[in-house]
Amino acid sequence: MPRILILDDDEDLLSSQSLYLESKGYQVDTAQTMEEALTTIRERKPDLVLADLMMEHYDTGFVFCKRAREQEGMKSVPILMQTAAARELGFTFDASTPKQKEWMKVDEVLIKPVPLEDLTGKIEQHLKKRR
């Protein structure tokens, strides 16, 4: 069963996404801080990461993705960033080109709130690419 790490400071989101993904057969780990997530990566080796952009600071998600990619075995692990930045700050982020993916260190940007059915579709899409 694929292991997914969800990093977000929103407890309700963590709870709803983890319960839903577990009901679909995924193993789910959660973290509410960047440091907690980096520790989980080292100890649990996720197959995919869902990371929030704005947590402790507005750029925590970007810092996390850069540091996560530096961890052993994480270069090819899909990282999907979830963000409400467009709604909250007016900024939009896109990871549709190789250049954008490289500077953000993510495979795709998902706009919150992400419908759970769409989330599982995105997860499966990225896990299939990795296999």
User: Tell me, what's the pLDDT at 46?
Assistant: 98
Instruction: Say if CB 82 and CB 8 are below 8 A apart.
Output: yes
pTM passes above 0.85: yes
Tens of pLDDT along 28-87? 999 999 999 999 999 999 999 999 988 877 778 889 999 999 999 999 999 999 988 655
Where residue 121 sits, what CATH number does that domain have?
A: 3.40.50.2300
- State how many domains the chain has: 1
Tens of pLDDT along 120-130? 999 999 999 87
User: Tell me, what's the pLDDT at 86?
Assistant: 58
Domain that holds residue 112: 3-130
State mean pLDDT over 80-108. Answer: 69
Q: How far is CA 76 from CA 47, 99, 112, in A?
A: 9, 16, 24
